[in-house]
Amino acid sequence: MSKKMLCSKCKTETATLILPRDQSKVCRECFFHIVEDSVHRAIVDHKLFTSGDILAVGASGGKDSTTLIHILHVLNEKYEYGADLHMVSIDEGIKGYRDESLDAVRRNQKKYGWPLTIVSFKDMFGYSLDTIVKLLGPKRACTHCGIFRRQALEVGAKKISATKIVLGHNANDYAETTLLNLIRGDLSRLKRGSTIITDSGYGPARIKPFKYVYQEEIVKYAFLKKLDYHSVECPYAVNAQRGLPRVYLNQLDRVASWSVLGFIKSNEQLQINEKKKKKLIANKCIKCGFLTSQKLCQGCVLRQKLDDSFSQLTIKLEEVEMEEVEEYVDEKEKENNFKKERIYEKEKVKVKINEKVKEIQKEKEKEFEKEKN
Ligand SMILES: [Zn+2]
Ligand SMILES: [Zn+2]
């Protein structure tokens, strides 16, 4: 950027930043205002929540959720939304990763003064994500984690009687989901994935105020505001299926910055033939009561899989132990038999020697008798 270029918005301050969504040159204050305002517009235009709503904001300690918490805090004071703000964190049980990001969540809890509720996989399902990966392998770690996290977040929200769950999904996440569902040919998901409010009618609705904010804008905002977040990526994220669409969108973004919002707008305007839409059957899981289209919810199916895998592992461990015990017994028996044989041999030799000695004695006695005679 050349020196002393004026901000394209206020036309008074020096432009120091490029706005990712349209590549315009802006000053710091205008950048903050643009990002905050697009969150405010999303909240107001889509009536995401109203005064008196209890909001359970998903707090992972990462960049997106930390920035979301900060902006909601700023806007709630500025526009007097009157929302009751809470943090809900999920402890998946990922050693060296989640424990550190939860420390960031706790520091932010002190900073903003919101109540914090933590729900752990281990307490709720009996298995930490580290154990799940050990039992089922790392390949579908993100899918398994997603199933449990969804339910854990709802349980956390219900604990505080939340009326809405607030998630930090940004514009790039929306574009990625759109692309992923297009690739999969999943039209029902394609449409459902485009909404800013997801309300199944059971439990609190999920709202996403970052829908029109670019990933890069969140990165810049968090950096410039010096927000306290944990920047390490989850060790299991390398196995996520989103890899390719993400790489593709990043490449596209370099030559066409509007493509992210383009994907979102296209999806919003898409009309899907009602006949082609899969009807969502809403049942309650016969085991836990969670919303599902099957008899058992995905969480219960996964838990059953883990229980089976765990019991198979225990059987295997027992088998190994039994084999070891049997080998040990065999070894000892052989040793004993060997000893017995050696004793027997020795005895045999002794007997033979004695016999020989007796023979020699007898012969000597005979000789002696002969001589006497
Ligand atoms: Zn400006
Ligand atoms: Zn269930």
Residues around ion ligand 2, judged by CB within 5 A, are 285, 287-288, 290, 297, 300
For the stretch 171-209, what's the b/e string if a residue is b when 16 or more beta carbons lie within 10 angstroms of its beta carbon?
bbbbbbbbbbbbeeeebebbbebbbbeeeeeebbbbbbb
Distance 131 CA to ligand 2 centre (A): 20
Residue 332: per-residue pLDDT: 67
Per the CB < 8 A criterion, the answer to whether 189 and 181 are in contact is yes
Distance 279 CA to ligand 2 centre (A): 20
HSE-CB of 351 using CA atoms within 13 angstroms? 6
Q: Which ligand is nearest to the CA of 294?
A: 2
Show the domains of the chain with their CATH numbers: 17-280 (3.40.50.620)
Q: Which ligand is nearest to the CA of 289?
A: 2
Residue 55: per-residue pLDDT: 98
Distance 287 CA to ligand 2 centre (A): 5
Distance of CA 175 to the CA centre of its chain: 21
Q: Give φ, ψ of 225 to 5 degrees.
A: -85, 0
Distance 29 CA to ligand 1 centre (A): 6
User: Quick count: other Cβ atoms within 10 Å of Cβ 159?
Assistant: 13
Q: Give φ, ψ of 187 to 5 degrees.
A: -70, -35
Residue 1: per-residue pLDDT: 53
In the numeric block, which tokens belong to residue 100?
């550190």
Q: Which ligand is nearest to the CA of 33?
A: 1
Residues in the chain predicted with pLDDT less than 70, given as ranges, are 1-3, 238-242, 274-281, 317-326, 328-329, 332-333, 336, 338-340, 342-343, 372-373
Q: Which ligand is nearest to the CA of 17?
A: 1
pTM to 2 decimals?
Answer: 0.79
